[in-house]
Amino acid sequence: MKRLVAISLLATLTASAQVIYFNYSESGFFATGSWASVDANVKASLSETQIDCFRNRKSCVEATAEYYMGHPHVSVSYLDVIRWDNNGIIATDSSGTCMTVTMQVSFADKHISATHSVKQLDAKTAKACKFFGANKTEEEIFILKGSERWKKEHSFIPEKNQK
């Protein structure tokens, strides 16, 4: 009987434990989750992103895996850290033709956001960027894996209280 109670209690504690994939130290930062537009009308694709930042290299690597048009797709971005202190990180990537990406990480809030800002472009390049939808500044937030929002958006089985 005691064993059954112990197993039941352990199962309850395990089920209620919430692991958030956000970790930082003096030398590194790591997070797993997915990007979502701050605009609630924009539906995000089902994806997972891993962000790894290294203080001594002053860089971040962001790898995203997603599935679209019947095929898996992986993209990798590299960002240069322009500030890293006890409060968080600011990193940027200006290698893209149309946009500059600035990522902000707040350690205290466990919050990550990114701004995609349009670059100053000649008319021909601006027209091409507009064709691909890269013609206005956009903001995204990072939904941490394991958070309540992550669970809600990545669950394929509706919760009992949802109708």
- Mean pLDDT across the chain, nearest whole number? 86
> Cα dihedral sign for 114, 119, 123, 124?
negative
For 69-99, letters b (16+ CB in 10 Å) and e give eeeeeeeebebebeebeeebbbbbbeeeebb
What per-residue confidence (pLDDT) applies to 2?
Answer: 44
**Residue 120 in 3-state DSSP?**
coil
What per-residue confidence (pLDDT) applies to 139?
Answer: 95
pTM, rounded to two decimals: 0.81
Tokens of 50: 């891993």
What per-residue confidence (pLDDT) applies to 137?
Answer: 93
Residue-range domains of the chain with CATH? 21-150 (2.40.128)
For Cα atoms 146, 151, 157, give the angle at the middle one, nearest 5 degrees. 145
CA 52/CA 43 separation, integer angstroms: 25
Percent of the chain with pLDDT over 90: 66
E strand intervals along 41-120: 47-54, 59-68, 71-84, 88-93, 99-106, 111-118
Closest CA relative to residue 118, chosen from 142, 95, 140, 134: 134
State the average pLDDT over residues 94-113.
Answer: 96
What per-residue confidence (pLDDT) applies to 160?
Answer: 55
